[in-house]
Amino acid sequence: ETIAYDVWDNPVDYVLEEDRLADGTVDNRIRSTAGFDEHGNVLQATFEADSGAAGADQRATLIREVDGAGNELRTTYEEDFQADGVVDTRVVDDSTRNARGLLALEVTTYDTDADGTPDSIVRQAFSYDRRGRPVTRVLELDSDADGTIDFRELESRALDLRGELVLYRIEYDSG
C-alpha cells in the first residue's frame, strides 16, 4: 500500500497491491487518484481495479464543480466497466442553493447506458425555517424519464421554539 499526498496533505494517489500466493507476483491492484482545490474539496477522482495486474479491468471517474464556499454545484460520475475507454454508465447530480447557501434543489439524472439520454431522474427539493433548520424535503422519481412522476415522498418536520423536534412525518405517493 502506497499513498502520495499533495502540499495540503490531501491523498492524491493511493495504490493497493495484493499478492495472494505470496510468490512475488501482484495478483490484484487498486488505484485511486484525486485532485483537490486549495480548500481541500475533491474536484476530480479516478478509481481503477486491475485483476491479474495486466492493466485496468474497470475504471470510474468523478468530476465535481463547487462554488467559492465549496458547495457542490455539479458532480458527474462515469463508469467504464471494461476499462476500454467507453463510458458504460453516467450519473449527473446538479445542486442549487438558496440565498442563504443552503441546498434548495438537487436533480440527479441516471444514464445507465451512457447514450446521452437520461433513463431516470430523481428530483429533491428542500426548505428550511428562519434558522436554517430543515423543514421539508420532497423527493420525486421519474423512473423512466418520460416526464411523469412515478413516486413522490414528502418528509416534513415541525420544531418547537427551542428547536426540538415535535413532529416528523413521511408521506408516500407511488402513482
105-121 pLDDT per residue, tens: 999 999 999 999 999 99
Q: Decide: helix, strand or coil at residue 120.
A: strand
Cα distances from 37 to residues 4, 30, 65, 71, 128, in angstroms, run: 16, 24, 10, 12, 29
Instruction: Please give the pLDDT value at position 53.
Output: 65
pLDDT band at 163 (very low <50, low <70, confident <90, very high): confident
- The least confident of 125-129, 151-155, 157-161 is 157-161
Q: Does the structure show a pLDDT above 90 at 68? A: no
13-49 core/surface letters (b: 16 or more CB in 10 A; e: else): ebeeeeeeeeeeeeeebbbbbbebeeeebbeebbbbe
DSSP single-letter state for residue 113: T
CB of 11 closer than 8 Å to CB of 43: no
pLDDT in tens, 3-59: 999 888 889 999 998 988 889 888 888 999 999 988 888 999 999 988 876 777 899
The pLDDT of residue 93: 98
What is the pLDDT, as a whole number, of residue 146? 96
| Amino acid (1-letter code) at residue 41 | N
- C-alpha span between 78 and 93 (Å, rounded): 12
Mean pLDDT throughout 116-137?
95
- What SS3 state is found at 95? strand
Comparing CA positions, the residue from 137, 142, 135, 130 lying closest to residue 155 is 137
- The pLDDT value given to residue 175: 67
CA angle 79/80/86 to nearest 5° reads 125
Tell me the three cell numbers of residue 18. 495484493
Q: How far apart (Å, rounded) are the C-alpha atoms in residues 17 and 143?
A: 39
Angle, alpha carbons 56-58-109 (nearest 5°): 145
Return d(Cα 118, Cα 70) in angstroms, integer. 27
pLDDT at 98 over 80: yes
- Mean pLDDT within 59-80: 94
Residue 134 in this model has a pLDDT that exceeds 90: yes
